[in-house]
Chains A and B, each alone.
Chain A
């Protein structure tokens, strides 16, 4: 059996990669994909502890996280389309309507 700490290290790596993507990239679609990576890292933790503790609730929670991720992707991509229609850009640095 693989110890749970291996899964934790894997998910820590994935979170770091996702955070680097969110913070350094300017393409809004790639920022979204990095957010998906972060959510998946959280899911790996949930499933690993579900196996560790022999409790099914971790898997139930992972299903809810996947649901929220799907809703988030739908809304976010809708915003991207509306934004592209109005501003002709998907560059995060050019989207500064709220900047005073």
Chain B
């Protein structure tokens, strides 16, 4: 049962990811990306990381992707769709990506000697996941947490400053 859930979610994630890259219309791309992100949230749930799964859906699907769709509507999609979609160096790009994937697969296959990749025997002991993550965030990782909030503030001010129309 667990295997069925994992393989269907993983397959759907890879399929949606490919469709994101292949789709001609950016709106379709965004919808496929939402599908991929939802599948990844399902994988987080399956791994017992409920909090990150919830954050994934709230922040990515609810926030970032809505922002994407708004910007796609603001810029003119029709003109963008008519021009050539692939960059002129796409053959070199595919070659490099192929080299990258070979490298990654080699590392993963070599992995068992370097880091533990076997399935853990015990059922995860991280019960009460949200509680654990919250405790870690507010005690041991309090400083990075506060820095993240400053980063979000800077990003917000920067986005407003970049996107506002010139009034002066």
Contact = CB atoms under 8 A, between A and B. Distances in A.
A26 B60 contact: no
A1 to B, nearest CB: 4
B139 to A, nearest CB: 11
Contact of B86 (A18, A25, A51, A54): A25
Contacts of B141: 57, 60
Interface in A10-57: 10, 12-21, 23-27, 29-30, 32-34, 36-37, 40, 43-44, 47-48, 50-54, 56-57
B87 A93 contact: yes
Contacts of B33: 33, 36-37
A95 interface: no
Contact of B71 (A34, A59, A80): A80
B97 A23 contact: yes
Contacts of A70: 59-60, 63-64, 152, 155
Chain A interface residue bracket vs B: 35 or more
Given A30-B20, A91-B83, 11 more contacts: A6-B6, A12-B108, A19-B96, A26-B83, A30-B21, A33-B20, A36-B37, A56-B132, A73-B64, A81-B74, A84-B76
Interface of B: 2-3, 6, 10, 13-14, 17-18, 20-21, 23, 26, 29-30, 33, 36-37, 40, 43-44, 47-49, 51-52, 55-56, 59-60, 63-64, 67-68, 71-72, 74-76, 80, 83-90, 93-94, 96-97, 100-101, 104-105, 108, 111-112, 116-122, 124-126, 129, 132-133, 136-137, 141, 144, 148, 151-152, 154-156, 158-163, 165
A16 B104 contact: yes
A47 B67 contact: no
B6 A16 contact: no
Contacts of A2: 2-3, 6, 119
Given A17-B14, A23-B96, A29-B72, A67 B152 contact: yes
Given A2-B6, A33-B20, A40-B37, A74 B155 contact: yes
B74 A84 contact: yes
